[in-house]
């Protein structure tokens, strides 16, 4: 039986170590050091080195575990324990000197999530939870908001940067929520968006065209904080599927239905 509390504590230490490296690299960083993986999809030596730090450390925390990591380090262990790692969520923010950007780490076995850690570097805020625990921010228990109407909510979203196949409908959702909420925010880091839903700063988050490492830790933390998570159809494909909704428990059905009615036409 894994001691998930201990594993989570060690993962937090490692996430902060990688975060310190990333923060130090921000000083004097220039766009000339950036590589392009795809359309508007960037990576630098910082992402790669941070991932190396994380993978090496996580292998020591849980020997024999596998990896699903953004920059491709390590390999999946079928049926075993796997870390889902984004060494720098919000790379575009980072290269432009803009916050937030975060380290995101989840541990899974099969389709079951066991823990999640998100370290938002600029504010030195670490959000985390493990199976059976509350969600925490820097040692203090957190929970989702208690807003009970979408009209009273503050909503986070993100903009696709290469997959524009659903843009027409997506823009319609934005138009709808501009008129039926306290407002929309786009921070540029899905991991941070989800962490902010978990602690009640946002009441809801939705986005499409995301990857497992963008959402695995955050979705788990939201659930441990009392929130609800699904894909746009209300199903559970949000980790390895294409889209995600995360809200507090009170507005989940109303918010999901509003998104689904537009996006699933």
Distance of CA 5 to the CA centre of its chain: 20
What residues contact residue 146 under an 8 Å CB cut-off, 6+ apart?
248, 250
- Do the Cβ atoms of 102 and 77 come closer than 8 Å? no
Task: Write down the pTM of the prediction.
Answer: 0.94
Distance of alpha carbon 27 from alpha carbon 106, whole angstroms: 28
Which residue bears the tokens 């290469």?
162
Distance of alpha carbon 265 from alpha carbon 261, whole angstroms: 7
pLDDT digit of tens for each residue in the chain (265 aa)? 899 999 999 999 999 999 999 999 888 766 656 666 555 455 678 889 999 999 999 999 999 999 999 878 778 888 899 999 999 999 989 988 999 999 999 999 988 999 999 999 999 999 999 999 999 999 999 999 999 999 999 999 998 877 788 999 999 999 999 999 999 999 999 999 999 999 999 999 999 999 999 999 999 999 999 999 999 999 999 999 989 999 999 999 999 999 999 998 6
Parallel, antiparallel, or unpaired: how do β-strands 154-157 and 204-208 relate?
Answer: parallel
Distance of alpha carbon 259 from alpha carbon 261, whole angstroms: 6
Measured over the CA atoms of residue 154, residue 253, residue 128 and residue 50, the dihedral's sign is: negative
177 phi, psi to nearest 5 deg: -75, -25
The DSSP-derived string for 225-247 is TT-EEE-TTSSS-TTTSSEEEEE
- Gyration radius from the chain CA atoms: 17
Distance of alpha carbon 130 from alpha carbon 5, whole angstroms: 7
Domains of the chain, each with CATH number or no CATH: 4-142 (3.30.540.10), 150-263 (3.40.190.80)
Distance of alpha carbon 48 from alpha carbon 69, whole angstroms: 10
């Amino acid at each position: 039986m894994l001691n998930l509390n201990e594993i989570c504590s060690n993962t937090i230490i490692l996430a902060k170590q990688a975060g310190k490296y990333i923060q130090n690299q921000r000083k004097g960083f220039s766009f000339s050091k950036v590589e392009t993986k795809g359309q508007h999809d960037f990576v630098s030596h910082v992402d790669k080195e941070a991932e190396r730090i994380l993978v090496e450390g996580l292998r020591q925390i849980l020997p024999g575990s596998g990896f699903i990591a953004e920059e491709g380090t390590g390999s999946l262990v079928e049926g075993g324990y796997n870390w889902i790692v984004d060494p720098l969520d919000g790379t575009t923010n980072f290269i432009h000197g803009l916050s937030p950007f975060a380290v995101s780490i989840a541990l899974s076995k099969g389709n079951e999530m066991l823990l999640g850690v998100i370290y938002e570097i600029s504010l030195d805020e670490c959000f985390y939870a493990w199976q059976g625990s509350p969600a925490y921010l820097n040692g203090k228990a957190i929970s989702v908001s208690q807003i009970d109407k979408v009209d009273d909510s503050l909503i986070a979203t993100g903009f696709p940067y290469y997959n524009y196949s659903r843009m027409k409908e997506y823009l319609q959702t934005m138009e709808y929520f501009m008129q039926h909420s306290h407002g929309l925010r786009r921070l540029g880091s899905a991991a941070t968006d989800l962490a902010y839903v978990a602690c009640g700063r946002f009441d809801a988050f939705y986005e499409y065209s995301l990857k497992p490492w963008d959402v695995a830790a955050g979705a788990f933390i939201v659930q441990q904080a009392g929130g609800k998570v699904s894909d746009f159809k209300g199903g559970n494909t949000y980790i390895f599927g294409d889209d995600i909704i995360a809200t507090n428990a009170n507005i989940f059905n109303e918010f999901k239905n509003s998104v689904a009615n537009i996006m699933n036409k």
